[in-house]
Each structure stands twice: as C-alpha cells, then as structure tokens.
A = this chain, B = another copy of it.
Amino acid sequence: MNNPITIAIDAMGGDNSPDKVIEGIKLHSNTSRNVNYKIFGAKDLINPLISKFEISKDRFDLIHTENIVLGEDTALSAAKRGKDTSLWLAIDSLKNNNAQAIVSAGNTGALFLISKLNLKMIENIDKPALSALWPSKKGMNVVLDLGANIECNTKNLIDFSIMGSALHKALFPNENPIVALLNIGSEELKGKTIIKEAYQILNDKNFSLFKFKGYIEGNNIMDGDVNIIVSDGFTGNIALKTAEGTSNFIINELKSAITNSFLGKLSSIINYKNLKNFKNKLDPRLYNGAILLGLNKPVIKSHGSTDSIGFANSLKVCEQTIRGQLIDQIKVNIK
C-alpha cells in the first residue's frame, strides 16, 4: 500500500481553469490511491465542478482564495499581488509541510519566483533548472535546463546532471540514468569552454547516480542512447522549441498530404487505427509537466493550454516525484 501523500494545486492558472484542473484531478484520482489534493481557488467556481465530476470528499481539501495571479502579470507584479493568491497559498502550503509538491498551469515566471522566495534552494545548488520529458526511440529523456538560466557556469551543468538523473530515477525507477552534454560535436575538443570543463569533471569523477556518456548533438537527442540531456537554459530552450516546431510542421504537412484526394482520405480511414497510435505516441499531453529542480520541494508547471488529460499527467509527475523521493535523492548526491 502506498503512503498517503498530498499535492498542492493552484486551480486558477491557465486556459479554461478551474474546469480542466478539477477534471484532471478526477482523472488522476481514478488511477492513483492515497493521494490527497489540496485545491486553492475560488469556491464558487470550483464547488460545482467537484459535484459535476463527483470527486469524493475524502480525497481533497478546498482552500478558498479571492485573489489570483494573472497570465499577463510579470513575475514581480505577481509576487506583489500579495500572499492571498491561489498560487502563493498553494506554494505556502509546501513551505508549511501541508503538501509535498505543487502544480500550476498558470503564469510560469510567477510560479518560479514565488517558489524561490518561499521554498529556498537546496544547499550547495546555486541555480534552479527547468526540466521536461522528451520522447526517444527507447523511452523518455529528461532534458534540462529549458530556460530558467540564460547563462550557466560549469558547476551549474554538473548540478543539472545530478538533478536530472534524480528526476529520471524518480519517474522511471527501473532505468539507469545516462547523462550527456548537449554540444555541437561529439569530439572532446569542440564546444564552449564551460561545456568542456563540465565534460572533464563528469568524466573524471565517479558519480554513483548516473553514467556519463560525453557529448550529444541535437540530431541524436531522440536516439535513446542517453536519457538525461544537459545544457544551459538558452540552448535547451532553443532545442526544445525547435523540436516542437519541426514536429508540428511535419504533422501538418502529413495531414494535408494524406487528405489531399479522395483516395488519400479513403486510405487514411482504413489506416485510422495505425495513424491514431502514431498520433497518441506523439501526444504532447503525455509529456505535460515541466519540473523546476533545485528547490526544497518539487514544483511542477503544467502547460497553460493543456486539457484535463494533460493536467492529470502533470499530477502524475507530482506523485512520482514525491514517491520517488526526488528531493532526498538530489540532496544525497549533491556535495
């Protein structure tokens, strides 16, 4: 039997909230036992949804809040908005040990700033990193940093390797973490000084948490030979968004190609199941939930435009980071 855990949820952030949030909780609660949801938001909006989706009373607490962080707030103006927003109070519940992880589909900058203010960095980690899941031929990669830090130093990249490995282990306990540094060539000599220095340290020192596989180029990210890909936040963000754009482009081209003629449409119908499997495998909702690593509690950002299925997946990420003892794993391995 799983230990009981509690997830704090900002119900008011993102498109079509709190509807998708409450429906997402319902979906997650159907498959996960011993999870309590601490829901922060406007009770007038949330209570009817809780009735609609028939969420059992013993699964959640609803903490009513009047104030919310807006999508257009800067991180600073969101923090200044006060300590009574659904976002602030949800984060505060972690600080007070009333919950073990937080998820929000709202304002990313606000989530990160208010989390940093309240949850503090893990000792010996200088910078937090934003990480996400990225599919490969053989399973799932963790990629970081995706934009929390434009500039990074060598120690940051080492820390990211440890934090990314701890996250991968929490999410996929049966796999062995294998780290690579994102670079523009596979030879030792290439790349920026910071990356080359990180290479030396990762190569020389023996980390018990992960194996180090050297450099990886952009075209090999999805090969599945490594499962943790480390870079500074600028490069990681460019890589992730370029992959997104390429994927959208190809799938749109494909759609118009196969529905361009009567025969094309007919054969697409025959092939419906296979194409659906293909689409499902690439469904971005499966990978929903970016994780801010480096703070004393797991902070999960759901995509603002996802739906209830995507939100349920980010609740699953919350649960896995708690049950997989992500934070303890990081603390043990950071020296």
Chain A residues within CB distance 8 Å of chain B: 135-137, 147, 150-151, 182, 184, 191-192, 217-223, 231, 233-235, 237-254, 257-258, 260-261, 263-264, 266-268, 270-271, 273-275, 277-278, 281-282
Contact among B237, B242, B268 for A243, CB-based, below 8 A: B242
**A247 cross-chain contacts in B, Cβ below 8 A:** 246, 250
A234 touching B192, Cβ below 8 Å: yes
Of chain B, the residue at the smallest CB distance from A244 is B219
**A248 cross-chain contacts in B, Cβ below 8 A:** 219, 222
**A263 cross-chain contacts in B, Cβ below 8 A:** 270-271, 274
A240 touching B264, Cβ below 8 Å: no
Given contacts A222-B246, A238-B235, A241-B217, contact A264 B271 (CB under 8 A): yes
Q: Please, how many angstroms separate the alpha-carbon atoms of A62 and B275 in the complex?
A: 52
Given contacts A222-B246, A239-B218, contact A264 B258 (CB under 8 A): no
A253 touching B278, Cβ below 8 Å: yes
**A137 cross-chain contacts in B, Cβ below 8 A:** 249, 252
Contact among B192, B231, B245, B251 for A250, CB-based, below 8 A: B251
Contact among B240, B246, B257 for A274, CB-based, below 8 A: B257
Can you report 19 A-B residue pairs in the complex whose CB atoms are below 8 A from each other?
A: A137-B252, A184-B237, A191-B234, A218-B240, A218-B241, A238-B238, A239-B239, A243-B245, A246-B246, A250-B250, A253-B278, A254-B254, A257-B275, A257-B277, A258-B274, A261-B274, A264-B271, A267-B268, A267-B270
**A267 cross-chain contacts in B, Cβ below 8 A:** 266-268, 270-271
Q: Please, how many angstroms separate the alpha-carbon atoms of A218 and B243 in the complex?
A: 8
**A220 cross-chain contacts in B, Cβ below 8 A:** 245
A293 to B: closest C-beta gap in Å: 18
Of chain B, the residue at the smallest CB distance from A223 is B245
Q: Please, how many angstroms separate the alpha-carbon atoms of A240 and B240 in the complex?
A: 12
B150 touching A191, Cβ below 8 Å: yes
A52 to B: closest C-beta gap in Å: 34
Q: Please, how many angstroms separate the alpha-carbon atoms of A249 and B282 in the complex?
A: 10
**A249 cross-chain contacts in B, Cβ below 8 A:** 135-137, 222
**Central interface residue in A240, A250, A273, A281, by most chain B CB within 10 Å:** A250
Q: Please, how many angstroms separate the alpha-carbon atoms of A219 and B221 in the complex?
A: 17
Other A-B pairs, 12, CB within 8 Å; known A220-B245, A239-B242: A137-B252, A150-B184, A184-B234, A217-B241, A221-B245, A222-B249, A234-B235, A243-B246, A247-B250, A258-B274, A260-B277, A267-B271
A209 to B: closest C-beta gap in Å: 26
Of chain B, the residue at the smallest CB distance from A136 is B249
Q: Please, how many angstroms separate the alpha-carbon atoms of A151 and B239 in the complex?
A: 18
A274 touching B264, Cβ below 8 Å: yes
Q: Please, how many angstroms separate the alpha-carbon atoms of A39 and B270 in the complex?
A: 52
**A217 cross-chain contacts in B, Cβ below 8 A:** 241
Given contacts A151-B192, A192-B150, A251-B250, contact A244 B218 (CB under 8 A): yes
**A252 cross-chain contacts in B, Cβ below 8 A:** 137
Top 4 closest pairs, chain A to chain B, by CB:
A218-B241, A218-B242, A257-B278, A267-B267
